[in-house]
Structure 1
Amino acid sequence: MISTGTLSRAQGTALCVGAVLGTGVISMPALAAEVAGPASLLAWLALILLSAPLAWTFAALGARHPDGGGVSTYVRLAFGPRAAAAVGWCFYFAVPLGAPAAAAFAGGYVADVVGGGRATVVATFLGVLGVVATMNWFGLQISGRVQLYLTAVLATLLVVAVVAALPHARLANLTPFAPHGWAGVGAAAAILVWGFAGWEAVSSLSGEYRDPRRDVPRATAAAVLVVGVLYLAVAAASVLVLGPAVGDSPAPLADLLAAGIGGPVRAVTAVVAVLLTIGAVNAYLAGASRLGVALARDGALPAGPVRTPRRSLAVVTAGSLVAMLLPISLHTSMLLVTGCFTLVYVLGTAAALRLLPRGWSRRGAGLAFVATLGLLVLNGPPALLSLIVAAGAVAYASRPRRSTSPKIPSPSSSSAGSIAPKPNTNPVESLP
């Protein structure tokens, strides 16, 4: 099926890489090593292996059912509107909660260079949010092209950092391998979900590809390879080069570059951190702006505030500003967000088991379903937020509705601004 979308395969790959790689590569090596030591590498490897069937599951669904609703659409096709509303809400409301946390990592790098502490972190967040909102206001053709350039430059810089630091690697830094016990590996895996969230975000953009059936799987496969190699390389180099100090580092990538190159590299890594964060937040806001329109179209959100991608973008941007003011720690905020995303994964992979044909795609979906269910348990009490959000969505979707309601066009029919309705854009109506 050829779409009227403007997103090329290369731009789609860049959006995937930006959404998943994002802030994880600048922060997760330190956070994972803090709770698991060198054994955190096992958690990294496990999440990389899990991301392949998970990403492929969403790619297979996106190729067959390209729609701005993303995972929400797949769950609606499989389980009905109430379950779809639960998924949509979990993702849509997790994005503004996660944006300040994502920007906080970049803000830490900037504060490491210029000082200023919390004020610098807040200023960095406002700058990132302003840039991303502006790019998405003018549509995916602009933000997708910018993302392509960002991803190419940042991947090159990460490779340079790893290659330069490797001569300083020491096998002795692998001992003691599990200083916090093997339970630490599970704790690290729960944290690392943050670094691998993103496949569900770009599924909302499947309808924007020029040829979804061909381009979505190929873009996803390329992104899985790039993300896996870069993540494992940076994590391994951080542990082998920095040793026990990696768990205490507020800017592990800066320390890695300093060890490999020397000189005033912290300013460079601060720029890299900001660009990575722009890439991640860009992909999430792009996906959320389309998802909001799809949820309104399907009666899962009030139509007025999110009727078009621009209105939906404004809602998510305003929510991000409010979330910045919440008195919760960064670690707690991360777990709240990953709990919501993990529930999205659980329901999305369960939908895939019903929607995908027999074969390798369905087997991969089964593996991803079992693994994400385990990750939801590992997330612990913060996962309760996802259940509360899901319950609220089900209650809203179950309310009595008028027999007539305003027709909300598909979010994939335009990249910005008001959307001109097109016939038969609802994927449910197009099913045989």
Structure 2
Amino acid sequence: MSRVQATREGAAPPAGTLTVWQGAALYVGAVLGTGVIALPALAARAAGPASLLAWLALVLLSVPLATTFAALGARYPDGGGVSTYVRHAFGARAAAVVGWCFYFAVPAGAPAAGMFAGAYVEASVGGGRRTVVATAAVLVILVAVANGFGVSFTGRMQLALAVGLVVLLLAAVVSALPHAHVRNLRPFAPHGWPAIGSAAALLVWSFAGWEAITHLAADFRRPARDLPRAAGLAVAVVGVLYLAVAATSVLVLGPAAGTVGAPLAELLALGLGGGVHALAAAAAVLLTLGTMNAYFAGAAKLGAALGRDGALPLWFSQGSSVGEVPRRSLAVVSGLSYLALAATTAAAVGPRPLVLLTTGSFVTVYALGTAAALRLLPRGALPHRSALVALVAVAVLLVMTGWYLLWPLMVTAGALGYLRWRRAAGSPVS
């Protein structure tokens, strides 16, 4: 049973195994990973040096978002994560919608993350698009296998990956800074000031993740204490590293910052010498593993919780309790990821549409999650005020996401249609 169910039924909740440091590492991997690999280039292409303002705005937005979701996870530790909070605030239909939006966003985002890493591998070994796609396919397999061993294993693996990530990014920034020039900030907004909004819409991908680890809240040893501490550590690490890498990319690479496919490799090559593309490729693969590992863990647990609550077929519910491994849900996430990768490859569209489709879903999750927080968290407390700030900011992001919100609207229709079918068939929905 979940901790929420155990508390309601008067039983002692089962103890989890995740520590504060493992939780912080999962947060860092979920939020920082693939964003730092490719998003500095995509943002610079959209807005030039003015993209730094978009980075700063989203770093600041991370504080209330992380505070809000950590407070919700501490109060309602359950594998349903945001779906559980929305159920308490708005009922089963809204919970199913937000659960589906998150669950079906991960298979769309995983191939994009894998292709970001594949671009680094291709820059090192060649092979063109075939190398990019093959790298993404192998990463999905590795993450699926790792999550099959359970959250204790993935937590330990994530801690090692996070330490390596921080060391790598600091090395890239410090070694490249001697090549920085302030003149690269001019012209500051070559595509106009509205382009900052376009850059911010892309960068939501980089900051999605503050809600992902809440699906693992019940697996912390002491969720009420450990989850907010883990989130606080992660906010500090993510904010400093994102701003450092983005600023260094613009100051060092200048106009080329928006054209290179692998900006991290370029910074390492400038700072440490020309023979580091293989190192950058290996680092990109490890960073992507960290991100995909965190999201697969959260999505697999969420799918099991949705099956338990009737928002997905009961078959998914295996693994919904603390300490269990949701292998059925994990298998579905992995299979859908391969389908998305195959479709993207056949259409030859690259990762950008997948990024925007995924961020449209995550912005929807954030909107419903922060709205739920306003109803569930104590009024006047810091988390409640943070939720209000986050909701206003997310409303702005919803507008900037534009027509890519059609995807979460389609998912919403699917979720509501499934619930209607269950009720017509006489099946309960909790």
TM interval, shorter chain, is: over 0.9
Is the contact between residue 54 and residue 368 of structure 1 (CA under 8 Å) also seen in structure 2?
yes
What displacement does 1:395 show?
2.1
Are positions 1:215 and 2:236 aligned together? no
Are positions 1:115 and 2:126 aligned together? yes
Percent of aligned positions that are identical? 61
What is the aligned counterpart of 1:348 among 357, 361, 369?
A: 369
Which string of whole-angstrom CA distances, capped at 9 and with x for unpartnered residues, describes residues 51-102 of structure 1?
A: 1100110000000000000000000000000000000000000101110001
Are positions 1:319 and 2:319 aligned together? no
Which string of whole-angstrom CA distances, capped at 9 and with x for unpartnered residues, describes residues 306-359 of structure 1?
A: 533000000000000100011244211111110001000000000000000012
More helix by share: 2
Name segments (4+ residues, structure 1) moved above 4 Å. Answer: 401-406
Give the equivalent residue in structure 1 for 2:27. Answer: 16
Give the equivalent residue in structure 2 for 1:235. Answer: 246
Within a 5 Å distance, the mapping from 1:398-417 to structure 2 comes to 398-399=420-421, 400=423
Within a 5 Å distance, the mapping from 1:266-285 to structure 2 comes to 266-285=277-296
What displacement does 1:263 show?
3.0
Task: Give me the whole-angstrom Cα distance separating, in 2, the residues matched to 1:334 and 1:376.
Answer: 15
Give the equivalent residue in structure 1 for 2:84. Answer: 73
Is the contact between residue 3 and residue 211 of structure 1 (CA under 8 Å) also seen in structure 2?
no
Task: Give me the whole-angstrom Cα distance separating, in 1, the residues matched to 2:395 and 2:83.
Answer: 18
Task: Give me the whole-angstrom Cα distance separating, in 1, the residues matched to 2:372 and 2:261.
Answer: 39
Give the equivalent residue in structure 2 for 1:192. Answer: 203
Give the equivalent residue in structure 1 for 2:7. Answer: none
**Secondary structure at the counterpart of residue 78 of structure 2:** coil
Task: Give me the whole-angstrom Cα distance separating, in 2, the residues matched to 1:40 and 1:221.
Answer: 25
* Cα-Cα RMSD: 1.4
The one-letter code of the counterpart of 1:317 is S
Is the contact between residue 55 and residue 203 of structure 2 (CA under 8 Å) also seen in structure 1?
yes
Task: Give me the whole-angstrom Cα distance separating, in 2, the residues matched to 1:324 and 1:307.
Answer: 26
What displacement does 1:403 show?
5.7
What is the aligned counterpart of 1:167 among 169, 175, 178?
A: 178
- Structure 1 stretches of 5 or more lacking a match? 407-427
What displacement does 1:305 show?
4.3
Give the equivalent residue in structure 2 for 1:423. Answer: none
What displacement does 1:209 show?
0.2
Task: Give me the whole-angstrom Cα distance separating, in 2, the residues matched to 1:24 and 1:383.
Answer: 21
What displacement does 1:202 show?
0.8
Task: Give me the whole-angstrom Cα distance separating, in 1, the residues matched to 2:121 and 2:317.
Answer: 34
Task: Give me the whole-angstrom Cα distance separating, in 1, the residues matched to 2:340 and 2:195.
Answer: 29
**Secondary structure at the counterpart of residue 178 of structure 1:** coil
Give the equivalent residue in structure 2 for 1:244. Answer: 255
Which string of whole-angstrom CA distances, capped at 9 and with x for unpartnered residues, describes residues 272-300 of structure 1?
A: 10000000000000001100011011110
Number of paired residues?
Answer: 407
Is the contact between residue 3 and residue 210 of structure 1 (CA under 8 Å) also seen in structure 2?
no
Task: Give me the whole-angstrom Cα distance separating, in 1, the residues matched to 2:419 and 2:361.
Answer: 18
The one-letter code of the counterpart of 1:389 is V
What displacement does 1:262 show?
1.1
* Superposition TM-score, scaled by structure 1 size: 0.92
The one-letter code of the counterpart of 1:347 is L
What is the aligned counterpart of 1:389 among 400, 411, 418?
A: 411
**Secondary structure at the counterpart of residue 210 of structure 1:** coil
Within a 5 Å distance, the mapping from 1:23-62 to structure 2 comes to 23-62=34-73
Mean alpha-carbon deviation: is it higher for 139-148 or for 303-312? 303-312
What is the aligned counterpart of 2:394 among 365, 372, 375?
A: 372
Q: 1:254 to 1:329 in 2, by over 3 A?
A: closer
Task: Give me the whole-angstrom Cα distance separating, in 1, the residues matched to 2:32 and 2:426.
Answer: 44
